[in-house]
Structure formats: structure tokens, C-alpha cells
Amino acid sequence: MACARVPLDEQQVTEPGPLGREHTLPALHPTRKEDRCFVPYKSPPEDGSPAEVEEFMEHAKFITEDLEWLLTLPHDKFWCQVVFDDSLQRCLDSYLHQAPRGLDLASLPSSPAVADMQRSVHRAVFLTFLRMATHKESKENFLTPAVFGEIIYENFLFDIPKILDLCVLFGKGNSQLLHKMLENIFTQQPSYYSDLDETVPTVLQVFDTILDKCGLHCEGATAMEPMKLNAHKQPTAMAMSQQDLVDLILYLCDSTTTIHAFLDIFPAACSSFHSHGFLSRLTSFYEAAVPELEKAVRKRNFDDKGLQQDLWKRLSHSCRKMVEMAHQLLHHTCLQPILEGGENMQTFADELLQHFTSFFT
């Protein structure tokens, strides 16, 4: 066990070496990790065939056992495992990639046993991320904040896509806890703000891609990018295959829900989105894409009326999320500074009016 009241990153430990002789080494050292072999997560089977259920249960049992073991490790051993065990990071990543979201088409597990197991994995994964986002567990167990920031950033323990996944998977009902986690991560490692800044154009690109797939273009986007010569040949939302339309609406639904959850949990991110003109691009997108997609869902001939209803709900949900996102952005970047009464109140008020004017034109 490492000694107390010294940050973990400065501690040394004396342990028996491979040949049985005692040796001293840094408390955070690759030789101190256990060879545990974490397995990747697989999502619960949709059709519930016994073999697939068995496979899911087996993977999930291994993961919960291993993560519960990880959570019982002392602070120094936990961080050795987290930093040096690639299989652990791949296991956590696979959960963020594969775990069913509440909005997925088939998100309900097929049996109570599967649902229970899924909840166990869900909890263990969340607690692992929570512990990874905590640089001070107690008076004795802590990392130097700057070193903590460096560790989580350099080892990709957190990155922007992971943070967004965490928000959409765990945000509902755990927003306070997630807010604390994200606040600590961004405070101790400001490079995440730069990464966020770098990510927003890709988010905008996602909206442009949706427009592109519908054979449309966005006002803000055309100014920056040359139009493809074959752009007129793009299929429209009415003409594309039904599967493409389904995918497009699922994509829109996921994107809007994810960004909304992130901004809701971590409003400090609003300024990064705002600085890229996100609000005006979002409104242009809404204006161009929503009527087209609504028309397609209403007028196309669906053999499965349930699917048509579902797509409509998803589209309507996306609209709500886009409107709420606009509220969040306006609130945190214009209204809040006015309410706080800072120096540039007039500038913020002008900006707010400008936004309202552009909404009406």
C-alpha cells in the first residue's frame, strides 16, 4: 500500500519483485497492474434467441465481476489498472459504443434476467467513469490536479465523444453527478475546451450531411463550401429508399438528443457552440430540413404504419430538442450575461435581438 498524504503521482512503493527481492518503484507503474483481461461489451440481443442471450449474459457477467473488482481496489491499484490496462479501456469504450440508448428502435431487453444484468453493467460502468473523473477520493487518496488532468487527457480516459456518450446514456436522472464529473474534468484539463472547439465544426458537418442526403443545402454551409457538380442528382427525402429515410431520422434524433443532453448537463459548453455560429446554423437547418422530412414521413407510402408513427415521433422529438437547444444557447450565452449585469450588457442585448430578428426572417 502506498504512503499517505502524498499525492499518488509522487508516491513510491516497496514491493517484492519478480525474483522475490524487494524493490522500490513509483506507485503508478505498469508492473503494478493486474493481468485481468477485460472483455468487450455486447448489447442485449434483439430477438432473444437462447444462444445470443447466453452470450450476452456471459459477457455481461464477466464485465460486472471485473468492474466490481476494479471498484474495490485501493486508490493506487485502481489508477494503475485504469492507466495501464488497455483491455479495461476497450471494455469501457465498447459499452459507450454498444450500450442501448433509450431512443433506440429496440432498446427494451427481452427478459427480466437480461434487464437485470444490463442494469448491473450500466451501474458498474458508470461508477468506473465516476471514479476516473475523481482526482480526490479522500484526504489520503488523491492525485495532483494538474497530473490528474494530464493522465485523463493523454490516456484518452475521457474524450469529447465519450463525454457525449456518457451524457446521453447516464444523464437522465443523474445530471447533478454528471455535471460534477464534467466540471472537474474540464477544470483540471482545459484542453477539453479546445477539443470541444475542434468538435463543433464536425457536429455542424453532421447537420450538413443530413441536408445533403435530403438534396438540400444550408445557408451557412454553402458560403464556406463549393457545391458539388452532381449536387442536383441527390435524392430527396421523398425519393430516397425507406431504409435511408429511417436511418436519416434516427441519426437526427440521436444527434439532437445527444447535443441537448450535453448542453443541459454542462451549460459551460454553450459558449463553444455559440462561437461557431451554431445557433444560426441550427435555425437554418431546422427551416430547410424539417419541412422536407415531415413531408416525406407524412406522404410516403409506408407498409408498416407503426414505423411511420414512430418516425414522426422521432422527427417531432428532434424538433423539440432543436428548439430547446436554441433556448439553452440563448439563455447561457446572451440572457444570462444580461441578467448578471456585466460590462457588455448592451452587446449581449443587441446579439439577442439580432437572433430574434433572424428567427422571424
In angstroms, give the least distance from the CB of 247 to other proteins: 5
Alpha-carbon gap, residue 344 to 351, rounded angstroms: 11
Is 314 an interacting residue with respect to other proteins (CB under 8 A)? Answer: yes
Span interacting with other proteins, options 226-234, 268-276, 278-286, 314-322, rule CB under 8 A: 314-322
Stretch that binds other proteins, among 168-176, 231-239, 270-278, 350-358 (CB under 8 A): 168-176
Q: Please check whether residue 103 is in contact with residue 96, taking contact to mean a CB–CB distance below 8 angstroms.
A: no
**333 scored as a contact of other proteins (CB under 8 A):** no
Q: How far is the CB of 315 from other proteins (least distance, A)?
A: 8
Amino acid in the structure at residue 153: Y
Whose Cβ is closer to other proteins: residue 117's or residue 334's?
117
Binding residues for other proteins restricted to 25-84, rule: CB under 8 A: 35-40, 43, 57-59, 61-62, 68, 71-72, 78
- Which of 31, 111, 309, 354 lies at the binding interface for other proteins (CB under 8 A)? 309
Quick check: 16 binds other proteins (CB under 8 A)? no
Cβ proximity to other proteins: between 61 and 352 the closer is 61
Residue 36 buriedness (CB in 10 A; 0-12 / 13-18 / 19+) = middle
Which residue lies nearer to other proteins by CB, 96 or 216?
A: 96
308 is a contact residue toward other proteins (CB under 8 A): yes
Q: Using CA atoms, how far apart are residues 41 and 101, in angstroms rounded to an integer? A: 14
Residue 43, SS3? coil
Compute the least distance from the CB of residue 352 to other proteins, in Å. 24
Residue the block writes with cell 406522404: 299
Does 23 sit near other proteins (CB under 8 A)?
no
Q: Which CB, 25 or 127, lies closer to other proteins? A: 127
Half-sphere exposure for 116 (CA within 13 Å, toward CB): 4
DSSP assignment of 85-124 equals -HHHHHHHHHHHHHSPPTTSTT-S-SSHHHHHHHHHHHHH
* Min CB(262)–other proteins separation in Å: 10
Q: Based on the shown chain and the rule CB under 8 A, indicate whether residue 161 belongs to the binding site for other proteins.
A: yes
Question: Which residues from 122-151 bind other proteins, rule CB under 8 A?
Answer: 122-123, 126-127, 130-131, 137
Question: Mapping DSSP to helix (H, G, I), strand (E, B) and coil, where does residue 16 land?
Answer: strand
In the complex, the smallest distance separating the C-beta of residue 160 from other proteins, rounded to whole angstroms, is: 5
Which phi and psi angles does 109 have, rounded to 5°? -60, 150
- Assess 327 for contact with other proteins (CB under 8 A): no
User: 14, 32 in Cβ contact below 8 A?
Assistant: no
Cα-flanking dihedrals φ and ψ of residue 91, to 5°? Answer: -65, -50
Length of the chain: 361
Rule CB under 8 A: say whether 317 interacts with other proteins.
Answer: yes
With binding defined as CB under 8 A, does residue 312 bind other proteins? yes
* Residue type at position 138: S
Q: How far is the CB of 52 from other proteins (least distance, A)?
A: 14
> Among 180, 313, 331, 355, which residue sits at the site for other proteins (rule: CB under 8 A)?
313
Work out which of 64, 81, 94, 184 binds other proteins, going by CB under 8 A. 94
Contact 283, 319 (CB under 8 A): no
Region class of 20: left (phi > 0), else alpha (psi between -120 and 50), else beta: left
- H/E stretch holding 22: strand 22-26
**DSSP assignment, residue 142?**
B
Site for other proteins in 190-249 (CB under 8 A): 195, 198-199, 202-203, 205-206, 209, 247
Residue 343: CB minimum distance to other proteins, A: 33
One residue of 9, 10, 52, 93 binding other proteins per CB under 8 A: 93
| Number of residues near other proteins (by CB under 8 A) | 84
Minimum CB separation of residue 272 from other proteins in Å reads 12
Measured CA to CA, the distance from residue 360 to residue 242 in angstroms comes to 33
